[in-house]
Structure 1
Amino acid sequence: MATSSPEGQETASHHFTNPPDKHGDDPAIGSAQTAKDEHVYIADGYPLIRRITFITTVCSSMFTNQLGLCNSLTTPEIIGESFGVTDPGNLSWIISGYGLTLGTFILIGGRFGDEFGNKAIFIIGMGWLALTSMMAGLSVYSSYPVFILARTLQGLGPALTVPNALAIMGKCFSQGNRDMGFAWFAASAPVGAMAGLLFGPLFAMAWWPWTYWSQALGVAIVFVIALVAIPNMPVEGEQKQRRTIRDTVDRLDLPGGASGVTALVLFNFAWNQSLVTTWAEPYVYVCLILSFFFLAAFFYIELRLARYPILPVAVLTSDIAFVFGCTAAGWSTFGIWLFYVIRICLNVGGQTPIQLAAWLSPIIVTGIATALIVGKIINKVPASSIMLFAMLCYFVTSLLQALRPVDSTYWTYFFFATIIATFAMDSSLPAATIIFANAVPRQYQGMGSSVIMTIVVYSISLGLGFAGTIELQINNGGHTKEDLLRGYLGTLWFSVGLTAFGTVLALIFLLKDLRRRKLAGNQKEEETTGSTEA
């Protein structure tokens, strides 16, 4: 995803070419300039092969993130059968458990990187993902709850790697190289998704644990390469000072993080667990109620108590609200249509997992192309316009999937919906990041990508919980293909409504942005006229 911030406006560095005395008699200024030139944009000076290795390693975080999500999308029934589990509500945790942990902890993962080093947390995340992937495969010898635990723990790996990968890219490249680095980062998402959709069912045809064991092996290799490929970035000036334990705790905002995580977990758990036990179970709605209490505690801590808030809610503006609303609406529907269109194809249409992988293969070409194009134009086209384009694409995709007859040919509804969906995903992420960066003060620029990614991945998991509730209410138990289809289509029409809402939000934000630009232009013209008359 392409992004920029005020810090990114400097030109490319000139290593070792600006001696201290160029800045007069102030050695501090010269020292600061030299430090910045030598370290902040260290990857600008890499030779081609070194740069490719570095970018590939950093982008592997998004690749493995999407791989971990999509390698199980078409195989829940196969996995569940080996454990004797067939209930759709129980099987949904194979997907939603992973997204729950990822969405809940990604903001905290970014904060840990800021405090303890982005490279260190990135490597820890890769190691954790390798271990939990191995655990997911080995759970075949245990029980289904152990497998779900392993899948849930897997999500913590990308929660640590993704935000720190973005931070590493931003600290090691100057503006132009950084934008294209973020574009390649976004482009790695459809490649990872396609790899998961292809190799997940392929390994499942032999024995499904190999899906996770192969993932563990690949991530372990990345873990080793990252030790060498990612440079040891210099510690920021204020981090060089020795801190007390109290200072560290304050900077991590542990009370705020704990209350926020608890609220997110309980809220998401309630909606997804309701698919298993229904809302008749008291503990389900008790968890939902408790989530609001912890959310209130989170906002109180962030507004009143935290010295270094993990999410500075005090700076959230109407612009940020529009960004959050559009991002949540778009990406929750992405999760819905991807999951339920696959269910329609497998359980009603009679397609196979391998056939679905072939049907979704265009996302590689269009996803990479869209990400790279956005990387080129993101600083030339208003982000509000790109966001509206993305929301329109989300809406059209959801509408095509909801209207698609089960027996329609691939080259009609499904093909065009797949193409348009990639336009939506790979344009909404960079646009949201840019808008966030422009709307908050300079000191909060670094958290922009982490916040947006939190909204993205949490929305996917939560959207599936909402959709699952709708499905169970209208599918009459899902005993026949007609009943199953009725439930699936209900979720897809829900996604149409969400994307329509997101499109309206994006249009309002665009009009606000155009009005703001017009007023700024008029004010500048008046100032110019006044200075000329003077």
Structure 2
Amino acid sequence: MSKEASFSGEDAICASVIKDKPVSPMGVGETDGINPRTVSPTSFESLGEPSNSSVEKHGDDRPPNMSLLHELAFVGVIISSQIVTQVGVGQGLAPMKIVGEHFGQYDAGKLSWYVAAYSLTVGTFIIACGRAGDMYSHKKLFLFGYAWLSLWALLSGISSYSNSVFFDICRGLQGIGPAFLLPNGLAILGRAYHTPGRRKHLAFASFGAVAPFGCCVGAIFAALFAQLVKIWALAYYVMAGVGLLMTIASYFVIPDEDKEEFAREAAGQKFDYYGAIAGIGGLILINVAWNQGPVVGWQVPYVYILLIIGFLFMAAFIVIELTVAQPLIPLKEMSPATIRILSTIALGWATFGIWLVYLWSFCLDVRHESPIEVGVQFLPTIVAGFCAAGLTAFLFGRHVEPTVMMVIALIGFCIPSILLATMPVHQTYWSALFVSFLIAPFGMDISFPTATIMLSNAVPRNRQGIAGSLVATVVNYAISIGLGIAGTVVRQLSPGQDPQSLLHGIRIAAYVGVGLSGAGIVLALIEVFLHRKVPKGL
């Protein structure tokens, strides 16, 4: 088969991401020790379909030495990391007001930190954790992530005997666990399914599909424990137990890396400590400033001082990444297409974070429904999520251009925000509210696996951590920073706490989401236009 004949939509987007040089598009640096399937601009046959030898040996692209039962358990353990990550979001969101009352906190801005602190650390530490996995074993750091999550979930529950500040700290530290789990779990999938094909598409689509399920499960059980059992901390104790069980299960189910191969791939690699310090410090300071601004006001000196220092840290991070031999994020090798893809993802998921938090407030504070009722109302997102994942795998199998799929995803982010901005307060659940629950998962579960597969196919096996890290970082950080942006706009335009001001503030936040997702749609359409100008022989 000729290269031109095997060139698919998935291949084309990777061609636009990769610069014309024999290294990965994300900038891997040295090519020594890279697997023969390493992607380059002249080797796109491996991106479009499984190799013949793989198909003959496994009947498709099943990982070597795995039975079907083992493969199902393996994928299940990996996607469980996405489930528990989203459980962490749901368990912070659902009983937010009940936990706030327990600690004597009633300010909406301070309550938002119960979710924002968790998302902040998930998004901030992912790249460093993914890079560490590339060097020291993805499996070991995946196990460490579950153990860490278990510990700080336990301490989050124990913080019920302390105060709100300690709870915020525990929630933030709890988020470091998923920061280890997500990139290393995706890297393990990427290394196992190193030959693109039906199984890889299904595995990555399933990873995205379970996100609504995790958020719903976390929200419902947290609401049950807080509202009926009257012990909100119980949700965190259960999470600690689940984390411990998954640590044990992962140890036995996930195959060990080939030590010789991994040592060869990791040989000579160095961790960019200065870049990690500058990048993590900058992201944390900027995020703290954006989320504290709506709480205390931007006129408070420490808020804008933190923001300025954060930007200085990020400027230092960019300089470091452009000068060191082995950066955390190889900025030199990132093409404009890569940046556009990640920017589109950021705009979509910032919209989703705003929609999720303010819709929850709309149901609780405006429609006066209980946390359990709202959690049950979210159940359709589970079914819609699996349908969206199935659609994603189907479209990939039909070689639909990933750029087109990103446009669909951004529309899926935009419509629910439009509905939130316009739906009447006392309208029946089965109208705009129900429709928004059906549409929102299509934004989540098309954008995440599409971007992850695109980047995973475009980097070599010894740098799979960076593929998972970039997408997961953008997703989680965008959620947190999006809430800060919306909160700032709401504080300026509708600062009151009376019912009418509260409803007006929710509408404003929803329109902020519409604006962000609208910009994402435009960016995605630009990418479609530019992608179709790529010569077919490239």
| Unmatched segments (≥5 aa) in structure 1 | 18-36, 525-534
| Unmatched segments (≥5 aa) in structure 2 | 1-9, 15-38, 40-45
Q: Does 1 or 2 have the higher relative contact order (CA < 8 Å, sep 6+)?
A: 2
Aligned to 1:495: 513
CA distance in 2, matches of 1:229, 1:356: 36
Percent identity (aligned): 36
Output aligned runs, 1:60-459, within 5 Å: 60-173=80-193, 174-176=195-197, 177-205=199-227, 206=229, 207-235=231-259, 237=261, 239-240=263-264, 251-304=270-323, 306-379=324-397, 380-436=399-455, 447-459=466-478
Amino acid at match of 2:372: I
Measure how far apart 1:223 and its partner are. 0.9
CA contact (8 A) 2:82 2:208 kept: yes
Measure how far apart 1:442 and its partner are. 9.0
CA contact (8 A) 2:94 2:220 kept: no
User: Which stretch of structure 1 is more off in the superposition, 462-471 or 437-446?
Assistant: 437-446
User: Which stretch of structure 1 is more off in the superposition, 337-346 or 186-195?
Assistant: 186-195
Deviation string 1:385-427 (CA, Å, 9 cap, x unpaired) is 1011111222222111111111111111111111111111111
Aligned to 1:27: none
Query: Alignment partner of 1:497: what SS?
Result: helix
CA contact (8 A) 2:355 2:420 kept: yes
Aligned to 1:11: 51
Measure how far apart 1:236 and its partner are. 5.8
Amino acid at match of 2:364: L
CA distance in 2, matches of 1:107, 1:509: 25
CA distance in 2, matches of 1:97, 1:340: 17
Measure how far apart 1:506 and its partner are. 0.9
Measure how far apart 1:372 and its partner are. 2.4
Deviation string 1:311-346 (CA, Å, 9 cap, x unpaired) is 011122221222122111100010000000110110
CA distance in 2, matches of 1:409, 1:367: 23
Q: 1:45 to 1:435 in 2, by over 3 A?
A: closer
TM-score (norm 1): 0.87
Q: 1:442 to 1:239 in 2, by over 3 A?
A: closer
Measure how far apart 1:240 and its partner are. 4.3
User: Which stretch of structure 1 is more off in the superposition, 8-17 or 110-119?
Assistant: 8-17
Measure how far apart 1:513 and its partner are. 1.2
Aligned to 1:26: none
Measure how far apart 1:170 and its partner are. 1.7
RMSD: 2.4
Measure how far apart 1:87 and its partner are. 1.4
CA contact (8 A) 1:378 1:430 kept: no
CA contact (8 A) 2:416 2:436 kept: yes
CA contact (8 A) 2:134 2:465 kept: no
Deviation string 1:52-94 (CA, Å, 9 cap, x unpaired) is 2211111110000000011121211100111111111211110
CA distance in 2, matches of 1:170, 1:233: 13
Deviation string 1:222-247 (CA, Å, 9 cap, x unpaired) is 1111111111111364724997xxx6
TM-score (norm 2): 0.86
CA distance in 1, matches of 2:242, 2:52: 34
Amino acid at match of 1:11: S
Deviation string 1:463-501 (CA, Å, 9 cap, x unpaired) is 0011111122222331x1111111111111111111111
CA distance in 1, matches of 2:338, 2:266: 35
Amino acid at match of 2:256: N
CA distance in 2, matches of 1:172, 1:325: 28
Aligned to 2:486: 467
CA distance in 2, matches of 1:135, 1:13: 50
CA contact (8 A) 1:100 1:268 kept: yes
Q: What is the aligned length?
A: 489
Aligned to 1:508: 526
CA contact (8 A) 1:395 1:499 kept: yes
CA contact (8 A) 2:183 2:465 kept: no
CA contact (8 A) 1:319 1:439 kept: no
Q: 1:355 to 1:417 in 2, by over 3 A?
A: same
Amino acid at match of 1:235: K
CA distance in 2, matches of 1:270, 1:236: 46
Q: 1:443 to 1:162 in 2, by over 3 A?
A: closer
Measure how far apart 1:445 and its partner are. 6.0
Measure how far apart 1:438 and its partner are. 7.0
User: Which stretch of structure 1 is more off in the superposition, 116-125 or 163-172?
Assistant: 163-172
Which of structures 1 and 2 has the bigger CA Rg? Answer: 1
Amino acid at match of 2:235: T
Q: 1:481 to 1:222 in 2, by over 3 A?
A: same
Query: Alignment partner of 2:428: what SS?
Result: coil
Higher helix share: 1
Amino acid at match of 2:208: A
Q: 1:169 to 1:438 in 2, by over 3 A?
A: closer
Amino acid at match of 2:473: T
CA contact (8 A) 2:94 2:375 kept: no
